[in-house]
Structure 1
Amino acid sequence: MALMSDRGVAAKRGAQFSDNSPDSLLHTCIRYVVRESLDVRSVSLPHEICDLLIHVYRETHMNDRKLMSDSLPKFLSQFGANNSRVCVANFADLSISDETLESFLEEHSKSITHLNVSDCLQLTGRALTHINTALTRVVDPRRLHRTVRVIEEGPDDECRVLYTKDYSNGVITTTRDNCAVDEEVGIITDDYSLTQAMGVFDDSDFSDFKARKIGELNDIRGYDWRLSDEAMAVECDGVPAVATKRSPIPVSECDYYKPSESFSKNLGDNRIKTLEINTWQPSPLQTLIIGCAVNILPEYYKDSLEDGELSSNSYLISPLLTIRKLVLHQWSSIDWSPPYLTHIINSQMQHTLQHLDLSDGDIDDGSPLEQLRALKTLILADCPRLHLAISSIAKIKSLRCLDISATDEDWGHVYEEPNEQLALIANSLPELTRLDISGTNLAGENCEYIPGLVSRNTTPFEYLGLYNTANEAAYRRTIPAHSVSGDATEEQILTACEAYIDRVEFLERTLNDLFNCFHLETNFHDVNRALDIVLRSMSRHLHNEYIQTVATILLFNIVHSDLANHNFNFKVKRVIITKLLDTMHRHRYDFTILQNGILSLVHFDIPTDL
């Protein structure tokens, strides 16, 4: 039979995209938007599609610095908040600039829930400023929040809060002497009227602040504020405030907007009265992954703690962001002297932060962690001097998952009293269900059980990490956990591979152990699970030559196994072939990887299996 004509091929290909199913729409978007740079500015796309498009772009362009320098801004400019909003912005490993990030955040400030800028080498400290300000700027004045706090400082450095006022959704809540009173004022959309409604101008000590406010409003776009007879009598340094009869200008219609304002009045007798105003619009951002973007983070903080309290500008992350998950790697001071952790934990995080990853960073004694009342997951992998923070970690009663593992013996084998310190963790954290002490000496001396975890024998962990621990803890007879990562059995090795899929140092070792297990075992039981681990490793670490070498060797053994011919359906075969081709293309000059790939591909029926 003659080959199908070009028109027939086109008709068959068009039929694949003729329906309106999500899979069909996604396939079309990925092909024409990402690969063929189709402009979709006039098309309205659901946020799920937009998120996946950015994910596909990242997978195909990451680490390609030259290509992305021009294509990334153009690609991101196609997503508009009005028709194609983005919720998950994963920019890890991309060459995104400060300007491009700022423009993107301003466009999607009220839709982004997940932001990942890990390993974005072009970003600088300006990027962190954009994250803190762009995401909380007021876009809709009907949704703005404002807090007013009045503080009085005495001659003996005593400081007391006279009162606080909070405005949101048309209600002002006044708190004075631990007593809160609500007042319904309705939705207020201009700055001056809101400040007046919150009683700031009623305080005679802040009359100069009122005059300054009027002067600032007069300067905006040649704007003059219409004042009542009372307001006209207000003087600033003896000069009456001048105004004409024009209407108030709403916050949403002018460039004038200050996220934070302060004013201090000297009352005499060494007493100072301070007014603090913060105004913002709540951000939906819940996950912030800075990761290893070392250029974003400051190397040194000038602010000290000698005055006992940090200002809002001293925090790494703005207290106006309600972050639930924060990932921050490799941040430490130059000489390890400043308390850097204090600059991370702000007042908002004390109530909202549930997941904190500070791997490879210096946390000193970890005392600021004790403030995190809602924290459920704490990851401190490869943190130096971690033995100094054990007592502080043991005070976080809400913890359910704790990772204090180490890939380097210099960081892991530092516990002088391992049994007592591990017992302190086990006995002090009643909610703890997952614990990772891999690479440490916390398991204690070589015996049939783990001395520090004796109390958990009746209430075992869901997961316990014992990979590469001192004195071969993974080989002990009594291990109080339902799932264990280690190198003693096939099950432990598979669990270790899954647990450390994103940690390169550990993954290189565990994949090597998996190869030895698969190669030496006469009856390897879970081939499908091993295949899933290998494919995920190849996908996540495409540029790592060692991981790709071991993975292709493992894949060769898997496709040669007796179970492969019976368990691998059409979709699985297609994924295997695709991953092999991606790896061989990326490492096309590596003889070993090419050889492993070819030996695996010859066992497939191509193109039928595609």
Structure 2
Amino acid sequence: MYQTERQLIPIKFRHKEERVPESLFCLCLKYVARNLDTLCTEMNNGYTLHDGLALPSEICEPFIETYQSNGGEIFDRFAHLFKDVTKTNLRSVHISNSSITDDGLEYLLNHNLYELTLTNCQNLTHKTYTNIFQHAANLRSLTIGPNVQITPYNKLSPSPLTLDDLPSKIYKKAPNLRHFVLRAIAESPFSNDNIFLGIILDKLTQLRVLDLSYCLGIGSLHYLTKLTNLHTLILFDVPHLQNNDAILNICSLQSLVVLDISQTETFPDQGVYKEENKILALIVKCLPNLMSLDISGTNLAGKGTAEHSMLESLSGRKSDIPGLEYRVDNPLEFLGLYHTQHNACRRHDIPAKIISGDANEEQIFNAAASCMEKPKLLQNILNDLYHLLRYDQCTQIDQALDIVLEALTRYVKEKLIQISGSATLFYIVKNKDRPLLLNDITVKRRIITTLLTGMDYHNYDETMMRNGCLTLCQLRIPQDVMFEFKRLVQMLLHIVSTSDHEGFVQRIGIYLLNSVACQVNNKQKNELGDAGAIK
């Protein structure tokens, strides 16, 4: 690589921002999120604001975020709190790991949102898809993530929608949509080219960002050619891009600045191109504005062997990636090389300022930051990070903690990420630099809350319980965990009662429970007794 100093993708996760004393506003939000009765009353049809209360968007949106980040789930009865648009105001809504249904989400859609993100909301149906566009006059950004089965032809939906069921002018009701993420849609049954995608994109020509990760049956992508203003195109884990002229149609998008055609190596032939050097060269020649390119998991970086070239660099620089020799004097800002074939990330002359891979700590951090939306890859990257920490080869514990907390917070339901992340968290908390981290009460509390949320969801997995308990043992018990006292006690009681008799996890659960019981005040001892911890 050409840079002399290490360059990292700037981490924008919230955990760094929180490393200041919490404001009174944040403390109040957390209290209300854990004590909903201070704000609302639970009626037969759901939560309703107390009489005389009204919440502006400056309160509603951080309240929803705080509620979810502290283990709360957005379900229909909670969403009912925002039914009255004269007393509540929402512009941006992000819902993940939720059991919300079409009816509950409609309470939120009635606010005519500017931004909507849905991830792991398995109870939504095609009705929501229509409802979103019926309320899309102000919508700028829409993310329909994995495990949200609401699109036409979706075989996993209880009552699949067809194009005939959609109002003919539905997409004209989203004139301001610029950022569209549509992941894991099903293959169209009627055409090699996904006619559903073609109809959508024919009407949304104003798009700047398009993410079709995991989508099947995309065909030749000829329908992209109308997106003349497209800045970013993400096609992560989209199969068969090497077929049907898909690359040629991508190359027609001369406005592209960011392109992601990375793969996870799930299938042997996925991401394997014939004449890979020529294809990569074609991409960089046809896309003159390209500054970020991710080819992780593919063979597009070539074998690294020198080839005769007619090009002469003005600077005398070379490229160990044959297809990128056109960029030696104009290096990419970012190049994704994680798990590329033939160890491309370990080569010397790479025309890029920031590189993701697994060759060193810097590349692993870059891989994690760039793959936070890619859970399949993220799981492998967390394993790489785990080995760095386990063998004391990680020099930036601060950075590692931010990455692990973000991954655990985003992917509560992904067991393998939770197991890998919690094991990594153990070595972070155990690290020799732990005083620098754990002197910050906000950081410490974020670690504990994130850990308990994962343990709650995967409470029958012995490995997850072991990782969580071992990490908690590195903290001061009970002082550090008193803010999560009830949740911790319930978790420990579950461990003690369900783990193998006299097994390691049960023994460590009993140790933690005794440590809590012996050092709390009388009121908390009564609570322990009520919970069944003391007999």
The TM-score bracket by the shorter chain reads 0.7 to 0.9
Per the alignment, residue 301 of structure 2 pairs with: 443
Aligned counterparts of 2:176 and 2:471: Cα–Cα separation in 1: 49
Aligned counterparts of 1:94 and 1:550: Cα–Cα separation in 2: 23
Aligned counterparts of 2:107 and 2:429: Cα–Cα separation in 1: 47
Aligned counterparts of 1:314 and 1:410: Cα–Cα separation in 2: 41
CA-CA distance at 1:320 after TM superposition: 4.2
- Residue identity in the other structure for 2:115: H
Aligned counterparts of 1:83 and 1:415: Cα–Cα separation in 2: 56
Aligned counterparts of 1:320 and 1:603: Cα–Cα separation in 2: 51
Aligned counterparts of 1:413 and 1:116: Cα–Cα separation in 2: 28
Per the alignment, residue 256 of structure 2 pairs with: 399
Q: Report the CA distance shift for 1:546/1:381 in structure 2 as closer, same or farther (over 3 A).
A: same
CA-CA distance at 1:95 after TM superposition: 2.5
Per the alignment, residue 512 of structure 1 pairs with: 383
CA-CA distance at 1:604 after TM superposition: 2.1
Per the alignment, residue 528 of structure 1 pairs with: 398
> Is 1:371 the equivalent of 2:226?
yes
Contact persistence 2:115–2:140 (CA under 8 A) = yes
Aligned counterparts of 1:389 and 1:483: Cα–Cα separation in 2: 27
1:216-295 correspondence runs (5 A): 283-292=137-146, 295=149
1:364-513 correspondence runs (5 A): 364-387=219-242, 388-407=245-264, 408-410=266-268, 412-447=270-305, 449-513=320-384
Contact persistence 2:237–2:261 (CA under 8 A) = yes
Give the secondary-structure state (helix, strand or coil) at the position aligned to 2:171.
coil
Contact persistence 1:382–1:411 (CA under 8 A) = no
1:99-114 correspondence runs (5 A): 99-106=103-110, 108-109=111-112, 112-114=113-115
| Cα offsets for 1:413-468 (capped at 9, x unmatched) | 33112111111111121221111000111111233710111111221112111011
- Residue identity in the other structure for 2:459: R
Higher strand share: 1
> Is 1:97 the equivalent of 2:101?
yes
Q: Report the CA distance shift for 1:509/1:320 in structure 2 as closer, same or farther (over 3 A).
A: closer
Identity %: 35
- Residue identity in the other structure for 1:553: A
Q: Report the CA distance shift for 1:567/1:51 in structure 2 as closer, same or farther (over 3 A).
A: closer
Q: Report the CA distance shift for 1:375/1:524 in structure 2 as closer, same or farther (over 3 A).
A: same
Aligned counterparts of 1:287 and 1:537: Cα–Cα separation in 2: 22
CA-CA distance at 1:21 after TM superposition: 5.2
Per the alignment, residue 87 of structure 1 pairs with: 91
Contact persistence 1:379–1:402 (CA under 8 A) = yes
Aligned counterparts of 1:368 and 1:336: Cα–Cα separation in 2: 13
Aligned counterparts of 2:283 and 2:424: Cα–Cα separation in 1: 38
- Residue identity in the other structure for 2:75: M
- Residue identity in the other structure for 1:556: F
Aligned counterparts of 1:527 and 1:295: Cα–Cα separation in 2: 38
Per the alignment, residue 181 of structure 2 pairs with: 327
Per the alignment, residue 122 of structure 2 pairs with: 121
Aligned counterparts of 2:70 and 2:397: Cα–Cα separation in 1: 29
Aligned counterparts of 2:199 and 2:394: Cα–Cα separation in 1: 50
- Residue identity in the other structure for 1:544: E
Give the secondary-structure state (helix, strand or coil) at the position aligned to 2:326.
helix
CA-CA distance at 1:595 after TM superposition: 2.5
Per the alignment, residue 299 of structure 1 pairs with: 153
From 343, 346, 352, the counterpart of 2:202: 346
Per the alignment, residue 26 of structure 1 pairs with: 29
- Residue identity in the other structure for 2:131: H
Which of the two has higher C-alpha Rg? 1
Aligned counterparts of 2:355 and 2:335: Cα–Cα separation in 1: 5
Moved more, 28-37 or 486-495: 28-37
Aligned counterparts of 2:257 and 2:37: Cα–Cα separation in 1: 40
Aligned counterparts of 1:433 and 1:59: Cα–Cα separation in 2: 34
Root-mean-square deviation (CA, aligned residues, Å) is 2.9
- Residue identity in the other structure for 1:430: P
Per the alignment, residue 43 of structure 1 pairs with: 53
Q: Report the CA distance shift for 1:316/1:475 in structure 2 as closer, same or farther (over 3 A).
A: farther
Aligned counterparts of 2:135 and 2:328: Cα–Cα separation in 1: 50
CA-CA distance at 1:358 after TM superposition: 0.6
> Is 1:564 the equivalent of 2:434?
yes
Q: Higher relative contact order at CA 8 Å, sep ≥6: structure 1 or structure 2? A: 2
Q: Report the CA distance shift for 1:545/1:122 in structure 2 as closer, same or farther (over 3 A).
A: closer
Contact persistence 1:98–1:126 (CA under 8 A) = yes
Per the alignment, residue 602 of structure 1 pairs with: 473
CA-CA distance at 1:326 after TM superposition: 0.6
| Cα offsets for 1:106-153 (capped at 9, x unmatched) | 3x12xx111123443332222222222234xxxxxxxxxxxxxxxxxx
Q: Report the CA distance shift for 1:538/1:338 in structure 2 as closer, same or farther (over 3 A).
A: closer
Contact persistence 1:447–1:476 (CA under 8 A) = no
Aligned counterparts of 2:435 and 2:122: Cα–Cα separation in 1: 45
Aligned counterparts of 1:390 and 1:323: Cα–Cα separation in 2: 25
Q: Report the CA distance shift for 1:465/1:315 in structure 2 as closer, same or farther (over 3 A).
A: farther
- Residue identity in the other structure for 1:467: Y
CA-CA distance at 1:313 after TM superposition: 4.4
Contact persistence 1:474–1:487 (CA under 8 A) = yes
| Cα offsets for 1:454-507 (capped at 9, x unmatched) | 111221112111011111111111111111111111111121122212312101
- Residue identity in the other structure for 2:278: E
TM-score by length of 1: 0.64
Q: Report the CA distance shift for 1:338/1:485 in structure 2 as closer, same or farther (over 3 A).
A: closer
Aligned counterparts of 2:58 and 2:384: Cα–Cα separation in 1: 38
- Residue identity in the other structure for 1:130: N
Aligned counterparts of 1:406 and 1:316: Cα–Cα separation in 2: 33
| Cα offsets for 1:210-259 (capped at 9, x unmatched) | xxxxxxxxxxxxxxxxxxxxxxxxxxxxxxxxxxxxxxxxxxxxxxxxxx
Give the total of aligned pairs: 427
- Residue identity in the other structure for 1:68: F
- Residue identity in the other structure for 2:422: T
Contact persistence 2:140–2:176 (CA under 8 A) = yes
CA-CA distance at 1:565 after TM superposition: 2.0
From 419, 422, 433, the counterpart of 1:552: 422
Give the secondary-structure state (helix, strand or coil) at the position aligned to 1:123.
coil
From 38, 45, 64, the counterpart of 1:54: 64
CA-CA distance at 1:23 after TM superposition: 3.0
CA-CA distance at 1:597 after TM superposition: 2.5
- Residue identity in the other structure for 2:123: Q
CA-CA distance at 1:586 after TM superposition: 3.0
1:194-205 correspondence runs (5 A): none
- Residue identity in the other structure for 1:321: P
| Cα offsets for 1:187-216 (capped at 9, x unmatched) | xxxxxxxxxxxxxxxxxxxxxxxxxxxxxx
Give the gaps of 5 or more residues in structure 2: 1-21, 42-47, 155-160, 307-319, 482-535
